[in-house]
Amino acid sequence: MAIEKTAGFFTREVLKRFSELPIEDELCLNNARIRDHFLAGIYTLAAFREVEEKGEREDLATFHAANKFLLMACHQQLMREMGRLVASRAKKEPAELFFHYRHLLCVALAQTPRYTNNINVL
């Protein structure tokens, strides 16, 4: 008999170390909408990691433009803030720019878009 529904030892450590990465319970992945968003988040972060490794500001602008609609569906306000961050790229060092953008990207992707957000994007 379970005492309470909490994360196990391993899961608790994973969540502590990788708190910003997309993580879903295996039962939640049976829901098509949650599964699609989870996979979109994984692939988006993988693409960002490639851009981040290059460290080019122009590549970041291209990445943001390519993922604008996904970010708009997830979190419109953060998408706009990320756009302003990319536009003001001359003011920040590349390492600081990418670090801040990565944080905002993870926060935005943490929210599964509602169907009304998807309708708005379309």
**Rounded distance between C-alpha atoms, residue 79 and residue 94, angstroms:** 19
Q: What is the DSSP letter of 30?
A: G
Q: What is the pLDDT, as a whole number, of residue 90? A: 63
Query: By percentage, how much of the chain surpasses pLDDT 90?
Result: 48
How does pLDDT run across 51-66, given as a tens digit for each residue?
A: 999 988 899 999 999 9
Q: What is the pLDDT, as a whole number, of residue 82? A: 94
Domain residue ranges of the chain, discontinuous segments joined by +: 26-121
How does pLDDT run across 11-26, given as a tens digit for each residue?
A: 788 878 887 778 887 8
Return the closest-CA partner of residue 64 out of 53, 54, 99, 81: 81
Whether the per-residue pLDDT at 122 is higher than 70: the answer is: yes
